[in-house]
Amino acid sequence: MIVPLAAALNSCRLYPGHHPSIMQHTTEALGSLRLHMVQNKVVIDAEDHNVLRINGVSVAVDTAEAKKLFVKLRQRGIARIIFGKGIDAEELKGFFLALSSSGGAFGTFENIVVSSFRKTETTEQEPSLADVHEIAAVRRLYREIRLYKNVDMPNVDGIVGGIIAGIRKSRDLSRLLLPDSAGEDRFYVHAYNVAMLSVLQAEHIGLGNALLHDIGFAALVHDAGKTMLPRYLEDRHDSLDEEGWKLMKKHPVYGAALLSAIKKVPVLAAIVAFEHHMKYDGTGYPETRRHAKKLHLVSQMVGIADWYCALSSDLPHRKPLDPPAILGLLNAMAGREFDPLLVDNFVLAASVNR
Residues in the chain: 354
Q: Smallest distance from the beta carbon of 50 to Fe ion, in angstroms? A: 49
Binding string, 37-56, against Fe ion, x = CB under 5 A? --------------------
Is residue 21 within 8 A of residue 83, CB to CB? The reply is no
Q: Smallest distance from the beta carbon of 124 to Fe ion, in angstroms? A: 30
Radius of gyration of the chain (CA): 23
Query: Contact with Fe ion (CB under 5 A): which of 45, 134, 203, 306?
Result: 306
Question: In terms of CB distance, is 83 or 254 closer to Fe ion?
Answer: 254
Q: Smallest distance from the beta carbon of 107 to Fe ion, in angstroms? A: 37
Closest CA to 221 of 115, 135, 122, 142: 142
Question: In terms of CB distance, is 203 or 306 closer to Fe ion?
Answer: 306
Phi and psi, residue 219, nearest 5°: -70, -35
Q: Smallest distance from the beta carbon of 344 to Fe ion, in angstroms? A: 23
Only one of the segments 47-55, 134-142, 227-235, 298-306 lies at the binding site for Fe ion (rule: CB under 5 A); that segment is 298-306
Q: Smallest distance from the beta carbon of 218 to Fe ion, in angstroms? A: 12
Question: In terms of CB distance, is 9 or 189 closer to Fe ion?
Answer: 189
Binding string, 215-234, against Fe ion, x = CB under 5 A? --------x-----------
Closest CA to 260 of 226, 225, 288, 291: 225
- Concatenated DSSP letters for 65-115? HHHHHHHHHHHTTEEEEEEETT--HHHHHHHHHHHHSSSS-----SSEEEE
Based on the shown chain and the rule CB under 5 A, indicate whether residue 337 belongs to the binding site for Fe ion: no
Distance, in Å, from the CA atom of 305 to the CA atom of 251, rounded to the nearest integer, reads 17
Only one of the segments 77-85, 91-99, 144-152, 301-309 lies at the binding site for Fe ion (rule: CB under 5 A); that segment is 301-309
Q: Smallest distance from the beta carbon of 163 to Fe ion, in angstroms? A: 16
Q: Which helix (H) or strand (E) holds 8?
A: helix 2-14
Question: In terms of CB distance, is 306 or 337 closer to Fe ion?
Answer: 306
Question: In terms of CB distance, is 223 or 339 closer to Fe ion?
Answer: 223
Question: In terms of CB distance, is 223 or 275 closer to Fe ion?
Answer: 223
346, amino acid identity: F
Cα→Cα distances 261→77, 254, 269, 287, Å:
53, 11, 11, 22
Q: DSSP assignment, residue 58?
A: E
Q: Smallest distance from the beta carbon of 239 to Fe ion, in angstroms? A: 17
Q: DSSP assignment, residue 125?
A: P
Question: In terms of CB distance, is 72 or 277 closer to Fe ion?
Answer: 277
Only one of the segments 99-107, 134-142, 179-187, 305-313 lies at the binding site for Fe ion (rule: CB under 5 A); that segment is 305-313
Q: Smallest distance from the beta carbon of 248 to Fe ion, in angstroms? A: 9
Q: How many residues bind Fe ion (CB under 5 A)?
A: 2
Is residue 36 within 8 A of residue 54, CB to CB? The reply is yes
Closest CA to 82 of 114, 126, 47: 114
Task: Return residues touching Fe ion (CB under 5 A).
Answer: 223, 306
